[in-house]
Chains A and B, each alone.
Chain A
């Protein structure tokens, strides 16, 4: 062995960069936080969005926090078909058994579905009896305000 005492970049550069990167990553990279925006009522488009969510959970190995912001026509995702008649301005109610099973599955995996109070008022929807499985804690005043604030908190925005 030779030159055991001289400290050359080849000795220390890699560990330093590695440590630097690791600690930067540890501080700057908590589990990804993503918000999906659904304001459309085409059921196949909605099912695609739910597929995307599931794929993303699988890809992230569960290390991800996912929110879905529902408003406007997007409320149709959770709307019971029998409630459609007494609402106003809603064209579709896609909350049939199949759709709601998908929603429940995603909820079990930790996905939260947020609902805009602006929209439920506008469309005369009772969020707790006309929509599937919505709690007071899922209600936000305005979808656009919520999407803005979530992005300011570091959430990545996806419009499927």
Chain B
């Protein structure tokens, strides 16, 4: 990334520009694909940060009105301090938020539905690069992880979501990994490949081609929306 555009882009992504400035940036984005990519990267980072800080623990100290304390108030405060400490301790020690319970893959693909008691590790890999080295390494490492967890008897569920430039990975005409994807899908019932329909539609419009996705992959509406939901459901997120 470079140049004075950074400042404008950050402000643009954060929605801090005046309408005129915004138009200017939008115009620049249309004519400069590199700039558009940077804006997209910034936006991605912003979403990640928002998600990371979506539920900050604890409250900040509010304003507490100062009054002359009576003995009773002091005594009550001590009792309440104890109650507060105990309550805080209970809240702080609670293992996992309740909303981590998820039901997924309604059509199953051979996978049992997740339950609250499940110790299953769930990981969503978000593939957004067309880089072949990265994709090859991803498949190697995922395969190794699936084998390791299986050997150790630990339940694991993995999804690889491709969108944007990462969609090539799952395209019939572009993917260098079709055979490997097919072979791994057959071998691991707990591995799912997922393609983003928004990207498919966009590529079809922009390049006037019919985009075919490998038969082993599922298709969902929005890749970004999907990985955000997965994180909210307690999945581990790794962007490759």
Please report A residues at the B interface, Cβ cutoff 8 Å.
1, 4-5, 7, 11-12, 14-29, 37, 39-40, 44-45, 48, 71-73, 89, 118-119, 122, 142-145, 147-148, 151-152, 156-160
Contact = CB atoms under 8 A, between A and B. Distances in A.
A24 B145 contact: no
Interface of B: 1-2, 44-45, 48-49, 52, 57-62, 64-65, 68, 70, 72-73, 76-77, 80-81, 83-85, 87-89, 91-93, 121, 123, 125, 129, 131, 133-134, 137-138, 140-142, 144-145, 148, 236-240
A145 B81 contact: no
A60 B34 CA distance: 32
B48 A159 contact: yes
Query: Chain A interface secondary structure, helix, strand, loop or mixed?
Result: helix
12 contacts: A11-B72, A14-B62, A15-B84, A20-B84, A20-B91, A23-B84, A24-B92, A45-B1, A142-B144, A148-B236, A158-B45, A159-B48
A73 B238 CA distance: 16
A143 B240 CA distance: 11
Given A18-B64, A19-B88, A48-B1, A7 B76 contact: yes
B128 to A, nearest CB: 9
Nearest to B77: A15
B73 A11 contact: yes
A119 B89 contact: no
B10 to A, nearest CB: 12
B64 A22 contact: no
Contacts of A15: 64, 77, 80-81, 84
Contact of A4 (B44, B62, B70, B87): B70
A152 B236 contact: yes
Contacts of A27: 88-89, 91-93
Contacts of A17: 59, 62, 84
Contact of A23 (B70, B89, B148): B89
Given A5-B70, A29-B57, 5 more contacts: A14-B65, A27-B91, A39-B240, A144-B145, A157-B48
A85 to B, nearest CB: 18
A146 to B, nearest CB: 10
Contacts of B133: 72-73, 89
A64 B92 CA distance: 19
B123 A148 contact: yes
A118 B134 CA distance: 13
B92 A73 contact: no
Contacts of B73: 7, 11-12
Nearest to B86: A23
B2 A44 contact: yes
B140 A4 contact: no
Contacts of A39: 134, 137, 240
B238 A157 contact: yes
A149 to B, nearest CB: 9
A40 to B, nearest CB: 8
Contacts of B125: 144
